[in-house]
């Protein structure tokens, strides 16, 4: 079994994030798949964490990643 599970995220200007289980679901919800970022969630967090904990993990990941790449 993999140590991570991928989720797809969309970050908004206010820092909030929406999570999607896959690109197809996001597209069905009206989201442009090219705007999504794939984030690997640690298995333990995915299995036992709350949705809020996963959102916070993803938000921190995206914030860190964007700082490193210099994108907004």
What pLDDT is stored for residue 70 in this prediction? 59
Tokens for 7, please give them. Answer: 């989720």
Instruction: Please spell the DSSP secondary structure of the chain, one letter per residue.
Output: --SEEEEEEEE-TTS-EEEESSHHHHHHTT--GGG-EEEEEEHHHHHH--HHHHHHHHHHHHHHHHHHHT--
Q: What band does 57 get if pLDDT is binned at 50, 70 and 90?
A: very high
Q: Which single residue is written with the structure tokens 């914030």?
A: 63
Quick: pLDDT tens for 4-54: 999 999 998 888 899 999 999 999 999 999 999 999 999 999 999 999 999
């Amino acid at each position: 079994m993999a140590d991570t599970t991928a989720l797809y995220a969309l970050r908004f200007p206010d820092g909030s994030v929406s999570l999607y289980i896959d690109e197809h679901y996001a597209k069905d919800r009206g989201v442009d798949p090219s705007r999504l970022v794939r984030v690997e969630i640690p298995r333990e967090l995915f299995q036992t964490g709350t949705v809020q904990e996963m959102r916070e993990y993803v938000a921190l990941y995206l914030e860190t990643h964007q700082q490193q790449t210099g994108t907004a």
